[in-house]
C-alpha cells in the first residue's frame, strides 16, 4: 500500500509562546490517481478502501525526533492506519528546553496522579484530528472513536497513563516500549513505587533485556536497586494493572536496548553511554516489534479474528528475539 504524509501544526492552550506550537507529520494510506491536481500539488488522495481509518498517535521519548519513529509509522499506515508523529519543543522540565512528548509534571504529583491526564499535548492533537475529519485530505475518513496511543520511553509512559476513558473516551488501546510507571523520589514518592495505570483497555508493554536507561539512575531517581534491565517494565505489568480480560500483554525482547525502537539514536543529544549495547541486529528487532504492534492493533482495535491467531502464534513460538511473554 502506498503511504504518503502531510504536515500540520497545533497550538497548546495555556503555554507561553514560542513554546506553544506542536508540529505534526500525518501518514496515511494513499492512492495514486495521476490527476492534474495531484501532479501540480504533489498531494495524493487517501485510499478509501480501508476507511474509516483508526488513528495511532505516537509519543516520542525525550529529545527523540519524531522522524526516528517513521519506520513504524510507515509500517502501520501500510496496514490501513493513519499515524500521527509530532515534535514539540518546550520547557517541559524546569529550566530545560527539549523535544518533549508533553508530560504535565503537576499532574504526576502524588496528590493529583490518576485524577487528571498527564499528557499535555494530547488535547491539542485530538482537536487537530477533529479538524482533519472536517476538511482536507482525510475529511470523513477518520475513525475518531478508535484512537490508539503508542510511545517510547517517557512517551510510552504517557501512552499508557492516558488510555483512560474517563478523560479520553475516544482512545481504544495503547502500547509502549521502554517505559514503566516508577514514581520519582523528588516528586514525593516512596522508594520503589510503581504507580497504577488505568485498567480498562487493551495494553501492550514491551521492554528489552539491554535497556540501560532502566538501570542507570534507578537508585538516584526512583530508589530502586539497579537489578535487571527489564525489571521496571515487568513490575509495571505485574503491579500497575489487574488485567483479567486477557488483553494485556508483556513482551521482553532479548538483546534489545532502550533505543532499539528508533531508526537511529542521536548521539549529539542523548548520551550513548547511558544505554547498554544491543546484542541483536536492529533491523530484526524492529521487524518483530512492528509485527507485534500491528497484530495487537488488528486484534484488539480492528477485531480481526485472523490477527488474533497470528499474534498468538508469533508470541508463543520459540523465537531467539523473545525472552519472555505474558498475558493477563
- Report how far residue 47's alpha carbon sits from residue 230's, in angstroms, rounded to the nearest whole number: 40
Q: What nine digits make up the cell of 2?
A: 502506498
Size of the chain in residues: 328
Identify the burial level of 81 via C-beta atoms within 10 angstroms of its C-beta, where 0-12 means exposed, 13-18 middle and 19 or more buried.
buried
- Report how far residue 111's alpha carbon sits from residue 298's, in angstroms, rounded to the nearest whole number: 37
Nearest to 247 by CA among 197, 292, 202: 202
CB 116 within 8 A of CB 107: yes
- Report how far residue 235's alpha carbon sits from residue 231's, in angstroms, rounded to the nearest whole number: 6
Helices (H), 138-205: 154-161
Could you tell me the mean pLDDT of each successive run of 10 residues in the chain, 328 residues long?
A: 96 94 98 67 85 98 96 98 98 86 95 97 98 96 98 98 98 98 93 95 98 80 79 96 96 97 86 86 97 98 96 96 97
What's the total number of domains in the chain? 1
* pLDDT, tens only, 208-234: 999 999 887 666 788 777 678 899 999
Q: In the 3-class helix/strand/coil scheme, how is 253-307 assigned residue by residue?
A: EEEEECCCCCCCCCCCCCCHHHCCCCCCCHHHHHHHHHHHHHHHHHHHCCCCHHH
- Report how far residue 82's alpha carbon sits from residue 100's, in angstroms, rounded to the nearest whole number: 22
pLDDT (0 to 100) of residue 92: 75
Domain of residue 65, CATH code? 3.40.50.1820
CB 2 within 8 A of CB 13: no
Domain hosting residue 226, numbered range: 2-327
pLDDT (0 to 100) of residue 40: 57
Name the strands in the sheet holding 322-327, side by side, starting at the edge strand that comes first in the sequence. Answer: 2-11, 21-30, 82-87, 53-59, 142-152, 171-177, 203-210, 248-257, 322-327
pLDDT (0 to 100) of residue 227: 74
pTM: 0.96
**Cα→Cα distances 57→194, 197, 256, Å:** 25, 19, 23
Q: What nine digits make up the cell of 292?
A: 507485534
Amino acid at each position: 500500500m502506498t503511504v504518503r504524509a502531510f504536515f500540520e501544526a497545533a497550538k497548546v492552550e495555556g503555554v507561553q509562546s514560542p513554546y506553544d506550537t506542536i508540529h505534526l507529520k500525518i501518514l496515511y494510506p494513499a492512492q495514486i490517481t495521476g490527476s492534474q491536481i495531484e501532479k501540480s500539488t504533489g498531494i495524493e488522495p487517501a485510499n478509501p478502501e480501508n476507511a474509516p481509518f483508526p488513528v495511532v498517535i505516537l509519543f516520542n521519548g525525550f529529545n527523540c525526533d519524531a522522524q526516528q519513529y517513521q519506520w513504524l509509522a510507515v509500517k502501520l499506515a501500510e496496514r490501513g492506519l493513519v499515524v500521527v508523529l509530532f515534535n514539540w519543543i518546550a520547557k517541559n522540565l524546569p529550566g530545560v528546553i527539549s523535544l518533549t512528548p508533553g508530560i504535565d509534571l503537576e499532574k504526576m504529583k502524588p496528590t493529583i496522579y490518576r485524577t487528571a491526564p498527564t499528557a499535555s499535548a494530547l488535547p491539542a492533537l485530538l482537536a487537530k484530528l477533529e479538524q482533519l475529519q472536517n476538511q482536507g485530505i482525510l475529511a470523513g475518513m477518520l475513525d475518531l472513536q478508535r484512537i490508539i496511543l503508542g510511545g517510547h520511553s517517557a512517551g510510552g509512559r504517557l501512552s499508557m497513563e492516558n488510555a483512560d476513558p474517563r478523560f479520553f473516551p475516544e482512545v481504544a488501546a495503547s502500547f509502549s516500549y521502554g517505559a514503566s510507571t516508577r514514581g520519582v523520589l523528588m516528586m514525593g514518592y516512596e522508594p520503589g513505587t510503581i504507580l497504577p495505570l488505568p485498567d480498562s483497555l487493551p495494553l501492550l508493554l514491551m521492554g528489552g533485556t539491554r535497556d540501560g536507561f532502566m538501570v542507570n539512575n534507578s537508585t538516584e531517581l526512583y530508589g530502586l536497586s539497579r537489578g535487571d534491565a527489564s525489571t521496571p517494565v515487568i513490575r509495571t505489568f505485574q503491579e500497575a494493572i489487574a488485567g483479567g480480560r486477557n488483553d494485556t500483554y508483556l513482551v521482553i525482547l532479548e538483546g534489545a536496548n532502550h533505543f532499539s525502537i528508533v531508526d537511529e539514536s542521536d548521539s549529539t543529544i542523548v548520551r550513548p553511554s547511558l544505554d547498554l549495547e544491543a546484542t541483536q541486529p536492529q533491523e530484526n528487532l524492529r521487524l518483530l516489534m512492528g509485527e507485534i504492534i500491528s497484530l495487537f492493533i488488528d486484534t484488539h482495535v480492528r477485531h480481526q479474528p485472523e490477527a488474533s491467531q497470528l499474534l498468538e502464534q508469533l508470541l508463543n513460538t520459540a523465537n531467539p528475539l523473545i525472552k519472555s511473554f505474558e498475558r493477563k
